[in-house]
């Protein structure tokens, strides 16, 4: 069946329907990873977004239950060039087509993804609509007008856990309180493999409630949406910092930690999403290839005016802030994803650094 992708600036792409037949809207973004599409689709940080896969073949290795990063598909829509209804991995559970249909996900294939990515790289992130049930442009424009901008949008409360849950053994050496803003499974797996017992709390849990767990450290997770629209999380992190406990933040957690220190965040022209972003560790002088997924960043000028923060990592592509630590406190964060799911393992030492702080 025919499908249409309409962008906010009225640019039109026509292709073939994949996944569920229907209509969907969201902010259009692109991921440059050659593999890991299932992990991308189930990453809560992508909630509310339509993902363009820049690699040419999608679906060729099917899906497998163990690759899910959350309990469900979190993206709003999917765009690709060549879509494969068949798969070759012998351990796969199902085809990507069935996987998307079961998740009620609308997608479009057979379009020039290179031209599309070039367009939004130049024009900047924008909303889009995909439809395989109604290709009338007036109808699609109406749908687009109803779609909120990601700028100023609070989304963590839509993907966080409703009730606290535990990961790991009660006999573990360390107890970690996890503020779930949209946490990925493999982050929790990295803690579990380092002898941590995690209690995962809902995004709007108070510090006082988390403290009852008597943790050895606090983790502020990744997640979707605008950090400037999350004063509840910023207030919680401020109280954690006052308590002088070890704090580790990833992605949105990095932005929330910076906000708790009075640093501003901003909406990026185009976010960083892929598995090959070079980052330099300013403490060691070494570089690392990182997995990233974010559309907001920490404002450099605001950070440089803050004497209580040390910049620890920078992006070698555009010099954006990739890591910070707080002077006089056991608190640090990075903008990228050291759990590397999917992606390289260059940055997993950061989990070990958090363990060291808790051991002290």
Tokens of 243: 């308590």
Report residue 54 as tokens: 């820049």
pLDDT category at 92 given cuts 50, 70, 90 is: very high
Compute the CA torsion angle 125, 130, 134, 140 (nearest 10 deg): -10
Joined tokens for residue 110: 């057979």
Same-domain status, 59 and 105 = yes
Active site residues: 251, 337, 339
φ, ψ for residue 167 (rounded to 5)?
-130, 130
Alpha carbon distance 37, 109 (integer Å): 14
Residue 261 · residue 328 · CB < 8 Å: no
> 228 pLDDT band (50/70/90 cuts)?
very high
In this predicted model, what pLDDT tens digit does every residue of 6-16 receive, in sequence order? 999 999 999 99
Q: Both 160 and 305 in a single domain? A: yes
One domain, residues 140 and 166 = no
Q: How far apart are CA 27 and CA 225, in angstroms?
A: 11
212 and 79 co-located in one domain: no
Residue 282 — pLDDT band, cuts 50, 70, 90? very high
Split at pLDDT 50, 70, 90, the class of 356 is very high
- With respect to residue 252, please indicate whether it lies within any of the assigned structural domains: yes
Q: What pLDDT score does 15 carry?
A: 98
- Mean pLDDT of all residues in 17-39: 96
Residue 58 is part of a domain; what is its CATH number? Answer: 3.50.30.20
- Domain endpoint, select from 89, 122, 145: 145
Q: Answer whether residue 284 is part of any domain.
A: yes
How would residue 44 be classed by pLDDT, with cut points 50, 70 and 90?
A: very high
**3 state DSSP class of 153:** coil
Structure-token pair, residue 156: 């963590």
DSSP for 305-335? T-TTEEEEEEETTT--EEEEEETTSSEEEES
Residue 136 lies in a domain: yes
188 and 307 housed in the same domain: yes
248 in helix, strand or coil? strand
Is the distance from CB of 153 to CB of 229 less than 8 angstroms?
yes
What was the pLDDT predicted at 98?
A: 97
Residues 205, 350 within the same domain: yes
Share of the chain above pLDDT 90, in %: 98
**According to the model, what pLDDT value does residue 61 have?**
96
User: For residue 200, is it within any domain?
Assistant: yes
Of 145, 164, 183, the domain-final residue = 145
Q: How far apart are CA 252 and CA 222, in angstroms?
A: 5
Q: Taking all residues of the chain, what is their mean pLDDT, rounded to a whole number?
A: 96
- Within its chain, how far is the Cα of 61 from the centroid? 23
User: How large is the average pLDDT for residues 19-35?
Assistant: 96
Quick one: average pLDDT of 13-35? 97
Helix segments in the chain, DSSP class H:
37-41, 96-102, 113-123, 137-145, 156-159, 185-192, 207-211, 231-242, 252-260, 300-304, 349-359
d(C-alpha 203, C-alpha 73), whole Å? 19
* Structural domain includes residue 151: no
Query: What is the domain range of residue 135?
Result: 2-145
Pair of tokens at residue 236: 């919680």
Instruction: Summarize the confidence of residues 53-60 as an average pLDDT.
Output: 94
Burial class (CB in 10 A: 0-12, 13-18, 19+), 233: buried
Q: Which residue has the tokens 């605001």?
A: 302
What is the rounded CA–CA span in Å between residue 12 and residue 58?
22
- 179 burial type by CB count under 10 A (0-12 exposed, 13-18 middle, 19+ buried): buried
CA gap 21, 131 in Å, rounded: 8
- In this structure, the answer to whether residues 209 and 230 fall within a common structural domain is yes
**272 and 125, same domain (yes or no):** no
**CATH (domain of 305):** 3.40.50.880
Question: What pLDDT is attached to residue 288?
Answer: 97
Q: What is the pLDDT of residue 227?
A: 97
**Residues 134, 196 share a domain:** no
Domains in the chain, number = 2
d(CA 141, CA 131): 11
- Asked whether residue 140 falls in the same domain as residue 172, the answer is no
Stronger pLDDT, 203 or 343, i.e. the higher one: 203
Q: Pick from 102, 123, 145: which residue ends a domain?
A: 145
Q: Is residue 211 in a domain?
A: yes
Q: 209 with 91, same domain?
A: no
Is residue 150 in some structural domain? Answer: no
Per-residue confidence (pLDDT) for residue 45, from 0 to 100 = 97
- Answer whether 0.75 is exceeded by the pTM: yes
Question: Binning pLDDT at 50, 70 and 90, where does residue 202 land?
Answer: very high
> For the residues 113-120, what does the mean pLDDT come to?
97
Percent of the chain residues topping a pLDDT of 70: 100
Q: How does pLDDT run across 132-144, given as a tens digit for each residue?
A: 999 999 999 999 9
The tokens for 275 are 């598995």
In a domain, 254, yes or no: yes
Looking at the DSSP bridge assignments, the partners of residue 292 are 274
pLDDT digits 0-9 by tens, 309-337: 999 999 999 999 999 999 999 999 999 99
Same-domain status, 297 and 251: yes
Average pLDDT over residues 173-200: 98
Task: Please tell me the predicted confidence (pLDDT) of residue 164.
Answer: 98
């Amino acid at each position: 069946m025919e499908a249409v992708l309409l962008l906010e600036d009225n640019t039109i792409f026509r292709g073939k329907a994949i996944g569920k037949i229907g209509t969907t809207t969201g902010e259009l973004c692109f991921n440059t990873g050659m593999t890991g599409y299932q992990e991308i689709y189930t990453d809560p940080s992508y909630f509310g977004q339509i993902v363009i896969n820049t690699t040419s073949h999608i679906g060729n290795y099917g899906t497998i239950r163990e690759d899910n990063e959350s309990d469900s598909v979190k993206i709003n829509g999917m765009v690709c060039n060549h879509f494969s209804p068949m798969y070759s991995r012998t351990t796969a559970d199902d085809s990507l087509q069935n996987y998307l249909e079961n998740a009620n996900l609308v997608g479009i294939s057979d379009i020039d993804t290179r031209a599309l990515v070039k367009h939004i790289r130049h024009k900047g992130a924008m909303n889009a609509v995909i439809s395989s049930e109604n290709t009338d442009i007036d109808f699609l424009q109406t749908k687009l007008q109803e779609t909120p901008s990601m700028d100023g949008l609070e989304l963590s409360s839509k993907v966080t856990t409703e009730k606290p849950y535990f990961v790991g053994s009660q006999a573990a050496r360390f107890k970690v309180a996890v503020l779930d803003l949209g946490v990925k499974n493999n982050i929790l797996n990295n803690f579990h493999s380092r002898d941590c017992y995690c209690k995962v709390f809902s995004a709007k849990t108070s510090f006082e409630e988390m403290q009852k767990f008597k943790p050895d450290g606090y983790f502020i997770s990744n997640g979707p949406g605008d950090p400037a629209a999350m004063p509840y999380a910023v207030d919680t992190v401020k109280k954690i910092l006052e308590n002088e406990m070890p704090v580790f933040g990833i992605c949105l957690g990095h932005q929330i930690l910076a906000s708790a220190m009075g640093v501003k965040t901003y909406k990026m022209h185009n976010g960083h999403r892929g598995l090959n972003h070079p980052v330099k560790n300013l403490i060691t002088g070494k570089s690392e290839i990182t997995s990233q997924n974010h559309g907001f960043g920490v404002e450099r000028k605001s950070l440089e005016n803050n004497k209580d923060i040390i910049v620890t990592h920078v992006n070698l592509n555009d010099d954006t802030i990739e890591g910070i630590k707080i002077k006089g406190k056991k608190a640090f964060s990075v903008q990228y994803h050291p759990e590397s799911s999917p992606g390289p393992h260059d940055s997993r030492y950061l989990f070990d650094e958090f363990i060291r702080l808790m051991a002290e």
